[in-house]
Amino acid sequence: MTALPSENETRTFAYDYAVAGCGSLRTIIGGAEALLRASGALWLAAERALIVADLHLEKGSSYAARGQMLPPYDTRETLGRLESEVAALAPATVILLGDTFHDRRSEGRLARDDAARLVALAAGRSLIWVVGNHDADGPRALPGETADEIALCGLILRHEPQPGHQPGEVSGHLHPAAKVRSPRGSVRRRCFITDAERLILPAFGAYAGGLNVRDAAFAGLFVRPPLTGALGFGRVHAVGWRSLAED
């Protein structure tokens, strides 16, 4: 189980959140207002910035090359959901928060129309590729700029969460998922996870999967028992730490 401060702290700290009309969860991260979208995207309205993590484009073709056949439609489906977010929000900036491609050869395996869709996403806005451990070189032929991390709205956006206390950090990499307990059983969903000081985004990619937030990989990242935003159908559900189970 993840090591965290005493759960008694939940009695003295109240998370600031509210469900927005679009089903998103509106909250404060490191002093900045953030909208946690049901798609798994983060929206920073003050900068009109749309942020998604861990698309893992061309994961299906990567597995196929090793003899494990998966339906080769993950890139198409993932880009379709990203395009829907862009259409709904008209962002000035789109930030891809690392591991956008599943491996360093994924860009070369992109279908021509999928590459064209990525080019179109950059039209009329800034497209920023934060590099991750799967795509440390960034794109070679696609538009946009590459960065190790970005400062925005008083936040630091990077791919991999750094150990210890990191106020204002927004990251991906860990693919958080929440297993929610109830008297009728349990359900497992990708999720946001935050202690109001830092935020880890769910993986946006169709084949990216999720790691239970009770896993030891999350140990030491939060200064108090965190709040999760579990992704439901058209809505983000706020779920407290005590309602979460291990796998």
Give the mean model confidence (pLDDT) for residues 58-69: 66
Is the pLDDT confidence value at 36 over 80? Answer: yes
Residue 188's H or E segment, with its range, is: strand 185-194
Give the mean model confidence (pLDDT) for residues 172-179: 98
Is the pLDDT confidence value at 83 over 50? Answer: yes
User: For position 62, what pLDDT does the model report?
Assistant: 63
Beta carbons within 8 Å of 97's beta carbon, 6+ residues apart: 51, 52, 53, 54, 130, 132, 157, 158, 159, 170, 171, 172, 201
Evaluate whether residue 2 is within a structural domain. no
Give the mean model confidence (pLDDT) for residues 80-101: 97
Is the pLDDT confidence value at 52 over 50? Answer: yes
- Domains held by the chain: number: 1
Predicted confidence (pLDDT) per residue in 184-213, tens digit: 888 999 999 999 999 999 999 999 989 999
> In terms of pLDDT, which residue wins out, 14 or 96?
96
Q: Which residues pair with 129 in a beta bridge?
A: 96, 146
Give Cα separations from 196 to 143, 164, 200 (angstroms). 33, 15, 11
Beta carbons within 8 Å of 149's beta carbon, 6+ residues apart: 130, 156, 157, 158, 159
Q: CA–CA separation, 43 vs 135, rounded Å?
A: 23
Q: By residue range, what is the domain housing residue 235?
A: 7-243
Evaluate whether residue 101 is within a structural domain. yes
Evaluate whether residue 48 is within a structural domain. yes
Q: CA–CA separation, 53 vs 97, rounded Å?
A: 4
3-class SS of residue 231 = strand
Cβ atoms of 93 and 125 closer than 8 Å: yes
User: For position 9, what pLDDT does the model report?
Assistant: 46
Evaluate whether residue 1 is within a structural domain. no
User: For position 63, what pLDDT does the model report?
Assistant: 57
- Given pLDDT bands bounded at 50, 70 and 90, which one contains residue 142? very high
- Give the ranges where the chain is alpha helix by DSSP (H): 59-65, 74-89, 106-109, 112-121
